[in-house]
């Protein structure tokens, strides 16, 4: 196989998104937020979609709840062709309802992942370049999709 097949897709930042990658490279997770109305915005925008004020990247705790997840069992994306299965989740961050980030859920049996599970982000280097990405790890007590405790 070629070397390229071993390299996962690299983020291609633009001026609206580069703050996210600067933060992760600096060791913390940050999301785009309106300086005026304080709305969090994902994907990032130069101006707030609600009030058109300037935005900036502000640190987030990196904790949240799994909104949904998949178990990837078929090779479909370079960098992951031999690393099967793996779990990708959409995580609703605690800062704002529906503020959501995708990321792998690591160090867990896929059968133990559930919707509503609480997770925390951890920063890891992305092979093939200089970028640092958040991955998620299960923490503490989980909640069901309606917020009911399930375990």
Partner 1 sequence: MTTASLSGAAVVGIGRTPYVRRSGRTALAMAAEAARAALADAGLMSGDVDGCSCYSTGGPASPMQVAHAIGVDDLGWCASVLGGGNAVASVVAGAAAAIVTGQAGVVVVYRVLGSETRYGKALGTIEAPGEAQFAAPHGYLVPPQWFAMWCRRHQAVYGSTAEDLGAIAVQERAHAARNPHAVARQPITIDDYLGGRWVFEPFRVFDCCYEVDGAVALVLTSAERAADLPHPPVFPLAVSDANGCGGSVDQWADMTAMYSRDAAPRLWAKVGLGPADMDLALMYDCFTYTVMATLEDFGFCQKGEVGDFFREGRATYGGDVVVNPHGGLLSEGYIHGLNHHYEAVLQLRGDAGDRQVAGAETALVTAGAGPYGGALVYATAPA
Q: Is the peptide bond before 43 cis (omega within 30 degrees of 0)?
A: yes
Determine which residue in the list 6, 13, 58, 122 makes contact with partner 1, applying CB under 8 A: 13
Determine which residue in the list 3, 15, 82, 98 makes contact with partner 1, applying CB under 8 A: 98
CB of 54 to partner 1, least distance (A): 19
Q: Is the peptide bond before 85 cis (omega within 30 degrees of 0)?
A: yes
Beta carbon nearer to partner 1, 27 or 148: 148
**123 makes contact with partner 1 (CB under 8 A):** no
Binding mask 28-67 for partner 1 (x = CB under 8 A): --------------xx-----------------------x
Please identify which residue in the block is written with the tokens 């309606």. 146
**86 makes contact with partner 1 (CB under 8 A):** yes
How many residues bind to partner 1 according to rule CB under 8 A? 50
**Alpha-carbon gap, residue 69 to 102, rounded angstroms:** 9
- The residue ranges that bind partner 1 (CB under 8 A) are 4-5, 7-14, 17, 20, 42-43, 67-80, 83, 85-86, 88, 90, 98, 100-104, 110, 114-116, 126, 131, 133, 135, 144-146
């Amino acid at each position: 196989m070629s070397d390229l097949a071993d390299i996962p897709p690299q983020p291609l930042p633009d001026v609206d998104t580069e703050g996210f990658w600067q933060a992760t490279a600096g060791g913390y997770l940050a999301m785009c937020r309106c300086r005026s109305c304080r709305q969090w915005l994902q994907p990032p925008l130069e101006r707030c979609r609600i009030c058109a004020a300037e935005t900036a990247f502000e640190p987030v705790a990196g904790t949240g709840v799994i909104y949904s997840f998949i178990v990837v069992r078929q090779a479909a994306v370079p960098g992951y062709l031999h690393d099967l299965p793996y779990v990708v989740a959409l995580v609703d961050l605690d800062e704002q309802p529906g503020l959501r980030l995708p990321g792998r859920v690591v160090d867990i049996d896929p059968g133990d992942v559930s919707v509503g599970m609480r997770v925390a982000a951890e920063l890891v280097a992305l092979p093939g370049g200089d970028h640092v990405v958040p991955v998620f790890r299960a923490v503490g007590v989980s909640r069901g999709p309606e917020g009911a405790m399930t375990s």
